[in-house]
Chains A and B, each alone.
Chain A
Amino acid sequence: MVAEALGVYLRLAAATVRATTRRPAYLVVRTVAAALIVVLEVAGVALLLDRFGSVGGWRPAEVLLLFGMAFAGQGLALVFGNSLEAEKLSELVRRGTFDQVLTRPASPLGWVVASYVDTRFVGRMLAGAGAVVWAADRAGVAWTAGRAGLAVLAVTCAAAVVFGILLAAAGFTFVTVQGSEAVNVLVYGGLYLASYPLQIYGSALRFLFVWLVPVGLAIYVPALGVLGRTGPPGLPGWLAWLVAPVAGAFLAAGGLAWRAGIRHYVGTGS
Chain B
Amino acid sequence: MRSYLALLGAGFQRQTSYRLALAAGLATNAFFGVVRTAVFFALYRERDRVAGLDVADALTYVWVLEGMFAVIWAPWVWEMAEAIRSGEFTVELLRPGDPYLRLLAFDLGRTLSILVTRTAPTLAVAALVLPLRLPPTLGGLAVLAASMLLAAVVSFQFRFLFGSAAFWTADYRSMFMLVFPVLWLASGFVIPVDYFPGRLRGLVDWSPLIPLLMAPVRVATGRAAGLAVAGQVGWVLVLWLIGRLVLAVAGRRLVVHGG
Contact = CB atoms under 8 A, between A and B. Distances in A.
Nearest to B175: A29
Contacts of B27: 182, 185
Contact of B197 (A32, A47, A180): A47
B186 to A, nearest CB: 9
B116 interface: no
B129 interface: no
Contacts of B178: 29, 32-33, 36
A180 B195 contact: no
A40 B200 CA distance: 14
A135 to B, nearest CB: 16
Nearest to A200: B42
Interface in A24-42: 26, 29-30, 32-33, 36-37, 39-41
Which applies to chain B's interface (DSSP): helix, strand, loop or mixed? helix
Q: How large is the interface on B (under 10, 10 to 19, 20 to 34, 35 or more residues)?
A: 20 to 34
A29 B42 contact: no
Interface string B152-189: 00000000000000000001001001101110110000
Given A47-B191, A182-B24, A39 B181 contact: yes
Interface stretch (A136-144, A189-197, A241-249, A253-261): A189-197
A180 B24 contact: yes
A205 interface: yes
Contacts of A181: 21, 24-25, 28
The binding surface of chain A is classed by DSSP as: helix
A178 B18 CA distance: 13
Interface string B32-58: 101100110111001100110000000
Contacts of A205: 34-35, 38
A188 to B, nearest CB: 8
Interface string A26-65: 1001101100110111011101100110111000000000
Contacts, number: 90
Given A26-B171, A182-B27, A201-B38, A51 B177 contact: no
Contacts of A97: none
A202 interface: yes
Contact of B31 (A26, A52, A185, A196): A185
Interface in A157-196: 178, 180-182, 184-185, 189, 192-193, 196
A253 B137 CA distance: 52
Given A48-B195, A202-B38, 8 more contacts: A30-B177, A45-B191, A180-B20, A182-B24, A182-B27, A200-B38, A200-B41, A205-B34
Interface of A: 26, 29-30, 32-33, 36-37, 39-41, 43-45, 47-48, 51-52, 54-56, 178, 180-182, 184-185, 189, 192-193, 196, 200-202, 205
Interface of B: 20-21, 23-25, 27-28, 31-32, 34-35, 38-39, 41-43, 46-47, 50-51, 171, 174, 177-178, 180-182, 184-185, 190-191, 195-197
15 contacts: A29-B178, A33-B178, A41-B181, A41-B184, A45-B191, A48-B190, A48-B191, A48-B195, A181-B21, A181-B28, A182-B24, A189-B28, A192-B35, A205-B34, A205-B35
